[in-house]
Chains A and B, each alone.
Chain A
Amino acid sequence: MSSSLEQQARESAPVDPDAPVRSGTRGRTIRFRPYNVGRWVIWGGTALLFAVMPFVFTSGFAITLMSQMGILIIFALAYNMIFGQGGMLSFGHAVYSGLGAYFAVHTLNRVAAGTFFLPASPISVMLLPLVGGVFGAFFGVLFGYLTTRKAGTAFAMITLGLVEMVFAAAWIFTGFFGGEGGISTNRVMGQPVLGITFGPSIQVYYLIAAWCFLSMIAMYAFAHTPLGRISNAVRDNPERAEFIGYNTQRVRWFVLIASGFFAGISGGLSVISYEIVTAENVSAVRSAVPLLAAFIGGSMFFFGPILGAVIVDIFAVALVHYTKAWQFYLGTFFVLIVMFAPGGVASLILMNLRVIKYGLFWRLRDPYVGVLLTGLVLLLGIIMVIEMGYQLTLEWTTRMSLFGFQVDAASPELWVIAIGLIVGGGLGFEVMRRYFRREWGAVQEQIEEQVARELKL
């Protein structure tokens, strides 16, 4: 607990590069501005990663998956502006991405028909996410004014009501929302520009990557402005924020508008990627996705939702190919994270990096191996039960493929093996978990002592 608090403080308060450093016996203050290498390396590396990924993962499926990840990364980061950074738990953020997407798809169709001031050209397609962003922000102004008057549970309930309302409206105003079939479009229009038509999905990937990269930088910059920092303060202690001069309703509203803008950008990109927008885009189900991503990745860290978006998309897109039970696995994973790593994957990574930094990782090697091996056995058993159970209840045949083997889901031997794996793995895992917890606690204690010593020096 205490160590994660410390990390949160570091995360929300990166060391000031312009801070004066005192030196010398006379306490003279020397100011220096180090060329901020770290920041350039990280952003440069991110840009490079976006650029080379399609060369590493070349299949059409991988390109689609990575495109979807890019869209979800923007959405999850936008969501985390209000959730992790601003302390607002929303169950209806798809309203902003979805309405942004609807306005974007209508705009795109008008551009294609020549009834809009933009020419029917790939350049217009490139700028389309901005349309989504503007309308996302517009509805942020409109709906946010109402929702952000409340905080906490009341805010969460209002957002849930709002998303149900908009979802219901989608089935009533079918002219705009397209009813059952939604609104479809065609992203290919006009003369190619420098060979870009947005026909091939690789071109769409790079468009998404570019917008994702820009949005990441913009949202990171937002977190380091007065409004961004005050939203952290309002999250931590709204009452005190009022007593340092801030209208907390205003702060929440302004942050929601900014968040709506970026959510709208992700909606605009989804129009280009899928060429269709349906009522599902403004649903509570869709709203849960960025919440899952932010929480799984780690909402207290700027980069947490990025990790979360990648993980959720791996579950939602990749796992779908292998199992019907993907939602079950995603749900289980989410519950495990909430229970055992409430700081998300990002905090797991940072805590382990800290252990490595203090040179104590060797002490955790054996516990880690033990936990992972027994955990794997347990997981194997659980997967067998779930997959065979799904096969028995949902399919017409009991023959199935399991871990690459052709098996009969109804055979008692397999069920005995599965139960055995669960019981054996479970018992072993429990023993190893306790061992791990003991060692982990000892290591953390040692680090705390070391930190305390450093502070005193």
Chain B
Amino acid sequence: MNALAATYDPTRTGAVAGAAVPALALSDVRKSFGKTEIIRGVTLSIPRGERHAIIGPNGAGKSTLFNLISGRFPVSAGDIALNGKSIIGKRPFEINRMGLSRSFQITNIFPRLSVYENIRCATLYALGYKYSFWHRLDKLRDARERAEDIMTRIGLRARRDVAAGLLTYADQRALEIGITIAGGADVILLDEPTAGMSRSESDRAVELIRRMTEGKTLVMVEHDMSVVFNLADRISVVVYGEVIASDVPARIRGNRAVQEAYLGTSLTDGGHG
């Protein structure tokens, strides 16, 4: 059993010892592709247990920011610290083992494995089975129980043995979240979890996200303003690779710079972005 597994506890609240160390701290993070600087000095501190939304117009660099935090792309300059430890130069699996897990904007699952296998696979490393070839999968009670618990919570229990590639879009999005939280990471990054969903589907997704990230630190990129204002404790607005505002939802609504960035679109109408 490793440290990661020990941290898995769905009922744990965010306010524990060490709350002074932010779950995620970005300082002057920059990223260039060729000569174009996409992220232009982002500094951001997200305390433990916070639900933090990152919003901004298309092409503002929100997804790029996620890719930097999760190690998908290397940063060009600056530092990112996860629970006080720098993750610069670390590969995605190393960052995941340090307690950060992410979902993807475009569904990123294991299409030929069943729903159950998708989730169980996502529990294995964190439960300490790593590369084991001396354990029998079906004898691993903890992996099975955790996978079944998550399947029930994301509402896919009835689809247990269906190949993930055959699920409906909404079910795949739910599975995406299930895989993301299955390892028990305490910092969860969700990239547009409700993208492409109908109103009722996205309402259900918000409920699901709320339940599944109880006591965890949640960072999400989202276009749907009703989702953002519904879920987030704090919102950061990214425009042209910079954070122009970072505050509680009520004050973001009234922020002039933010309203200008959205070119007059009202942030209160709750329409799809």
Contacts and interface: CB of A to CB of B under 8 A. Distances in A.
A221 B112 contact: no
B246 to A, nearest CB: 26
A225 B144 contact: no
Interface in B88-136: 91-93, 96-97, 101-102, 104, 108-114, 116-117, 120-122, 124-126, 129-136
A245 B136 contact: no
Interface in A58-80: none
Residue with the greatest number of chain B CB neighbours at <10 A, chosen from A16, A20, A258: A16
Given A243-B101, A246-B93, A8 B138 contact: no
Contacts of A9: 112-114, 117, 161-164, 166
Nearest to A234: B110
Nearest to A22: B157
Interface stretch (A185-193, A247-255, A360-368): A247-255
B126 A245 contact: yes
Contacts of A300: 112
B125 A240 contact: no
A53 B79 CA distance: 67
A242 B179 CA distance: 12
Residue with the greatest number of chain A CB neighbours at <10 A, chosen from B112, B129, B136: B112
Contacts of B35: none
Contacts of B91: 242, 247
A236 B116 contact: no
Given A13-B161, A245-B93, A246-B93, A226 B131 contact: yes
Contact of A5 (B125, B130, B163): B163
A25 interface: no
Nearest to B95: A243
Contacts of B59: none
A408 B147 CA distance: 69
A254 B113 CA distance: 21
Contacts of A16: 116, 138, 144
Contact of B97 (A227, A233, A245): A245
Given A17-B138, A237-B111, A226 B130 contact: yes
Given A239-B108, A243-B93, A244-B125, A228 B133 contact: yes
B158 interface: yes
Interface string A120-134: 000000000000000
A42 interface: no
B117 to A, nearest CB: 5
A240 B113 CA distance: 13
B110 A236 contact: yes
A6 B135 contact: no
B109 A240 contact: yes
Contacts of B130: 226
Given A12-B113, A225-B136, A251 B131 contact: yes
Given A18-B139, A245-B96, A236 B158 contact: no
B174 to A, nearest CB: 16
A236 B113 contact: yes
A232 B113 CA distance: 8
Given A13-B161, A242-B93, A258 B133 contact: yes
A18 B179 CA distance: 22
Contact of B125 (A20, A222, A245): A245
Contacts of A12: 112-114, 117
Nearest to B120: A229
B144 A19 contact: yes
A233 B125 contact: no
Contacts of B131: 226-227, 230, 250-251, 254
B96 A244 contact: yes
A227 B163 contact: no
Contact of A2 (B132, B139, B141, B166): B166
Given A233-B110, A242-B92, A243-B101, A13 B116 contact: yes
Contacts of A254: 131, 133
B117 A229 contact: yes
A246 B161 contact: no
A136 B32 CA distance: 45
Nearest to A16: B138
B137 A225 contact: yes
Contact of B112 (A222, A236, A241, A248): A236
A434 interface: no
A150 to B, nearest CB: 16
Interface in B150-195: 158-159, 161-166, 179, 182-183
A250 B91 CA distance: 13
Contacts of B113: 9, 12-13, 232-233, 236
A221 B132 CA distance: 12
Contacts of B122: 244
A10 interface: yes
A225 B112 contact: no
A21 to B, nearest CB: 12
Nearest to A223: B137
B213 interface: no
Nearest to A227: B133
A47 to B, nearest CB: 21
A5 B93 contact: no
Contacts of B111: 5, 236-237
A300 B111 CA distance: 13
A455 interface: yes
Contact of B158 (A222, A258, A455): A455
Contacts of A239: 108
25 contacts: A6-B163, A6-B166, A9-B114, A9-B164, A9-B166, A12-B112, A12-B117, A13-B116, A15-B161, A16-B116, A16-B138, A16-B144, A225-B133, A226-B140, A227-B131, A227-B132, A227-B133, A229-B120, A233-B110, A236-B113, A240-B108, A243-B101, A245-B4, A245-B183, A246-B125
Interface of B: 4, 70, 91-93, 96-97, 101-102, 104, 108-114, 116-117, 120-122, 124-126, 129-141, 144, 148, 158-159, 161-166, 179, 182-183
Given A9-B161, A300-B112, 12 more contacts: A5-B111, A10-B114, A13-B114, A13-B117, A226-B124, A229-B120, A233-B110, A235-B112, A236-B113, A237-B111, A242-B96, A243-B102
User: What are the 8 closest A-B residue pairs judged by CB atoms, nearest first?
Assistant: A9-B163, A245-B125, A13-B114, A236-B110, A226-B129, A242-B92, A227-B133, A244-B122
